Amino acid sequence: MSTDGSREPVGVIGTGYVGLVTAAGFAALGSEVYCVDIDEDKIRGLEEGRIPIWEPGLEELIAVHRERLHFSTDLAPALAHARVLFVAVGTPPTYSGDADLSAVHAVVDAMPASDRHALVMKSTVPVGTGESIERALAQQDKGFAYVSCPEFLKEGSAVQDFLEPDRVVIGEDGGWAGDAVEALYAPLGAPIVRTDVKSAEMVKLASNAFLATKISFINEIANVCEETGADVVEVARGMGLDDRIGPKFLQAGIGFGGSCFPKDVAALKQLAGNSGYHFQLLNSVIEVNELQKRRVIAKLQKHLGSLVGKEIALLGLAFKANTDDMREASSLVLSARLQGAGARVRAYDPVAEAEARKLISGVAFASSAAEAVAGADAIVLVTEWPEFRELDLAEVAAAMRGSLLVDGRNFLDPGAARAAGLVYEAIGRPSQSPSPVSAG
């Protein structure tokens, strides 16, 4: 990676997970970066050095390159200083499963007429969005160039993913802007895929749908393992060494969540349906994922019988480790289902409590894992936070009222858990018979 100090300035519209990481990344590469967000509190906080999200390395990167980062609720500075404007506003799901493009349209509508600027779409949008935006820009005589540059970063390693991307996809239908975007990313040395706008949009949706399919696939294999006595961890290890398959996204668990997979899979399914094609495989991927989140309940009931009045400790709430993002986290469904079944739920997450409190009700929050498990009838490990591997399982077992540990991520060592006196249940791994004493 090289920076030459004379890099093109950029604008970034939307300073959430993607926008803020993109802004910090381009600042690190040497660009002046003009960030815009409609959220006044967020912009004020950023100006004062407060980072609104928990993302490893981001705070440090922003601090180092702070002088090149400019924050505003006004588009004017970005338009004045930069010709390339990255758009990273949210595209959440609607009730129908389609992507809500209202924030994207608000950005397009806010643009003045200019033949000097380009909008570069990082937000994940349905195929055809770029075409309709280009049409709208042309109808309004705005003269903007348009580029699709989908984002593939993963929360939890987003900074590293910006700096070392597997590829950069640039979709454009002619003009200067594709070359400008390629030049901005060139110092990273990543493969650059130049293509048309629609194909770039589809690369993003298809990539996430494929990864989600891999997760649902291994979760179904895990469920069959439970019926047949095989161990899905061994199965995944054996499968993953085949380089046509690869080891990633073959970890069985309690289903995928987060701000991207659920909504992008639903959006691709809807996109296909709206275009007249029934995407049967994606229906199954979604259904398997929903059922997977609920299987933990059956595991608890197998050992505890009725959950009415039972104390259940949730270790981890974030949709995965190394993020505070709670959007579509499996813990949301799980905590609601547990309370619906009459259980009392206590939860601990090292970083996501503040976000969780906005979305979860009726759950008591503990300030440590030890506090969460004290007096519990059962523990469910929901998020694979590294600190849970450091737990002294004998102390955990001694502090509990019961002895059941359901490892929703196959994260702990079964032998160590059982040696500590815990009844250990995992996903797709050989399990223990329910004890006649504890089943109620």
Ligand X SMILES: NC(=O)c1ccc[n+]([C@@H]2O[C@H](COP(=O)([O-])OP(=O)(O)OC[C@H]3O[C@@H](n4cnc5c(N)ncnc54)[C@H](O)[C@@H]3O)[C@@H](O)[C@H]2O)c1
Q: Which of residues 204-263 bind ligand X (CB under 6 A)?
A: 259-260
* CB-nearer residue toward ligand X: 329 or 366: 329
Considering only the stretches 102-110, 175-183, 213-221, 281-289, report the one whose residues sit in contact with ligand X under the rule CB under 6 A: 102-110
**Closest CA relative to residue 152, chosen from 284, 25, 52, 272:** 25
Contact range with ligand X by CB under 6 A, out of 64-72, 103-111, 225-233, 392-400: 103-111
The tokens describing 275, both together, are: 């275009």
In this structure, how many other beta carbons lie within 10 angstroms of the beta carbon of residue 38? 15
Q: Tokens representing 192? A: 């650059």
The count of other CB atoms within 10 Å of the CB of residue 418 is 14
SS3 at position 298: helix
Nearest alpha carbon to residue 360 among 317, 321, 309, 324 = 317
Each residue 111-140 as x (binds ligand X by CB under 6 A) or -, in order, gives: -----------xxx----------------
Q: Where are the alpha helices (DSSP H) in 164-274?
A: 177-185, 197-228, 232-240, 261-274
Q: Which of 55, 98, 134, 155 binds ligand X (CB under 6 A)?
A: 155
The interface mask with ligand X, positions 256-295, x = CB under 6 A, is ---xx-----------------------------------
- Residues 329 and 159: their CA atoms lie apart, in Å, by 22
> Among 10, 12, 13, 82, which residue interacts with ligand X (rule: CB under 6 A)?
13
Nearer to ligand X, 57 or 434 (CB): 57
Whichever of 123 and 403 has its CB closer to ligand X, that residue is 123
Smallest separation, CB 17 to ligand X (Å) = 4
Task: Give me the 346-385 binding string for ligand X, x by CB under 6 A, dash otherwise.
Answer: ----------------------------------------
Cβ neighbourhood burial of 75 (10 Å; 0-12, 13-18, 19+): middle
Asked if residue 42 binds ligand X (CB under 6 A), the reply is: yes
**Of 10, 11, 15, 220, which lies in the binding site for ligand X, with binding defined by CB under 6 A?**
15
Rounded Cα distance between 225 and 219, Å, is: 10
Active site (annotated) includes residue 35: no
Q: Specify the stretch interacting with ligand X by CB under 6 A; choose among 112-120, 149-157, 343-351, 413-421.
A: 149-157
Using the structure block, give the residue that is written with the tokens 């200019």. Answer: 114
Minimum CB–partner distance for residue 184 and ligand X (Å):
18
Nearest CA to 252 among 409, 414, 413?
Answer: 409
For the CB of residue 338, give the shortest distance to ligand X in the complex, in Å: 27
Residue in 183, 180, 185, 169 with CA at minimum distance from that of residue 25: 185
427 binds ligand X (CB under 6 A): no
91 binds ligand X (CB under 6 A): yes
Cβ at position 437, least distance to ligand X in Å: 45
Rounded Cα gap, residues 346 and 335, in angstroms = 9
Whole-angstrom Cα distance, residue 39 to residue 376?
Answer: 41
Residue 105 or 302: the one with the smaller Cβ distance to ligand X is: 105
Question: What's the CA gap between 266 and 281, in Å, rounded?
Answer: 12
Q: Are 375 and 311 in contact (CB under 8 A)?
A: yes
**What amino acid positions are annotated as catalytic residues?**
260
Interaction site with ligand X (CB under 6 A): 13-19, 36-39, 42, 88-91, 103, 106-107, 122-124, 151, 153, 155, 259-260
